[in-house]
Amino acid sequence: MNRGFVASIGALAVVIAVVLMWAQPVVGQAPSSTSKATAAKTWSPPRTPDGQPDLQGIWTNATITPLERPAELAGKEFFTEAEAAEYAKDVIARTNADRRDGTPEADVGRAYNNFWWDRGTNVVKTRRTSLIVDPPDGKIPPLTPEGQKRQTERIARNKGHEFDGPENRPLGERCVIWASTGPPTLPTAYNNNLQIVQTPGYVMVLIEMIHDARVIPLDGRPHLPQSVRQWKGDSRGRWEGDTLVVETTNFTDKNPFRGASQNMRLIERFRRADADTLMYQFTVDDETSFTKAWTAEIPLNKTTGPIFEYACHEGNYAMSGGLGGARVEEKKAAEEAATKGSR
């Protein structure tokens, strides 16, 4: 191999390196519109047999990035790479359930060993400091006076009756529905996986946590009558270019999302960003509950799975143990009151 050829290859490598360097987004800042446009041109999503973008596969939303921006990060929309690594290290150490350096109550409160948790170990790949992207402060907008009143009344109705019977226990504890499974879907303590299957006219989203499946029609049919309310609402999907847009209405007031009412209108967007990333974005619109609509964005990472059965059921030992413990405490309180009364 002659030296002139080697020199030419070396010069070409330098040019390529310089071009790639200039193409990289500034660390800690959102990629520019130019870099986004370039990425979009260099990668196009695979297609299903009927020509739609292929969103199928098993995806995980496990991340330590919180829904709302922490107070200590106020005004900071993105981490630098070094800051993201330091933040992850701190969160992992702070949430380690195997720590036994606190009070006995704190140690017991950590419940399961760390083996059972799967919260994720990294911030989202966009390096945002919160999942909420709008409002810019990364916070859920304040509740309206009507929303505050409704939430206060909801809490008051159950206060002092939390252990009267199974129907007073949280829906997640009863294995009816888990708050994070949605819609909208959010990262939670474990089982942060979902599977998407597409057929002509439908998209199915299976959530691993409490095994909820949502079948979303794409044929333009109207929503159910407003008199029909469902745990997961009533979803209708449509394609806008390469983005799947899902509108969900007809929620019930039995499982309000973050203080929303049954009139919440939820818009979800699913878009393949690259071979291993599915961008999931949702907007909560409920003018009776929030002072303005708000939006969150979560990059979902492709994973091999499989999706495991979540065998949660209402007859588990936690339910009988919790209610049984409450009866013991009531009996003890009654005996103590009787003893005081006889003196």
Say how far apart CA 110 and CA 100 lie, in whole Å.
9
Q: Which of 189-203, 223-237, 300-314 has the lowest mean pLDDT?
A: 300-314
Q: What is the pLDDT of residues 21-71, one digit of tens each?
A: 333 333 334 555 455 555 546 789 999 999 999 999 999 999 999 999 999
Q: Is 149 helix (H, G, I), strand (E, B) or coil?
A: helix
At residue 180's C-alpha, the angle toward residues 176 and 184, to 5°, is 110
Write out the two tokens for 17: 């390196």
Decide if pLDDT at 12 tops 60: no
Decide if pLDDT at 3 tops 70: no
Measured in whole angstroms, the distance separating CA 266 from the mean position of its chain's CA atoms is: 14
pLDDT score at 173 = 84
Nearest Cα neighbor of 231 from 299, 273, 271, 177 is 177
Decide if pLDDT at 339 tops 80: yes
Q: What is the pLDDT of residues 194-233, one digit of tens each?
A: 999 999 999 999 999 987 899 999 999 999 999 999 999 9
Q: What distances in angstroms separate CA 31 from CA 23, 24, 37, 236, 304, one per listed residue?
A: 10, 8, 10, 31, 28
pLDDT score at 72 = 95
Which class for 321: exposed (0-12), middle (13-18), buried (19 or more C-beta within 10 A)? exposed
Residue 10 binned pLDDT confidence (cut-offs 50, 70, 90): very low
Say how far apart CA 258 and CA 264 lie, in whole Å.
11
Write out the two tokens for 316: 């588990």
Decide if pLDDT at 145 tops 70: yes
**What are the domain boundaries of the chain?**
57-64+130-302, 317-343
Nearest Cα neighbor of 257 from 123, 105, 90, 143 is 143
Average pLDDT, the chain: 86
pLDDT score at 116 = 85
Domain 57-64+130-302 has CATH 3.40.50.1370: no
Greatest CA span in the chain, whole angstroms? 108
Query: What sign does the CA torsion over 335, 336, 341, 343 have?
Result: positive
Residue 298 binned pLDDT confidence (cut-offs 50, 70, 90): very high
Q: What is the pLDDT of residues 259-280, one digit of tens each?
A: 999 999 999 999 999 999 999 9
pLDDT score at 316 = 73
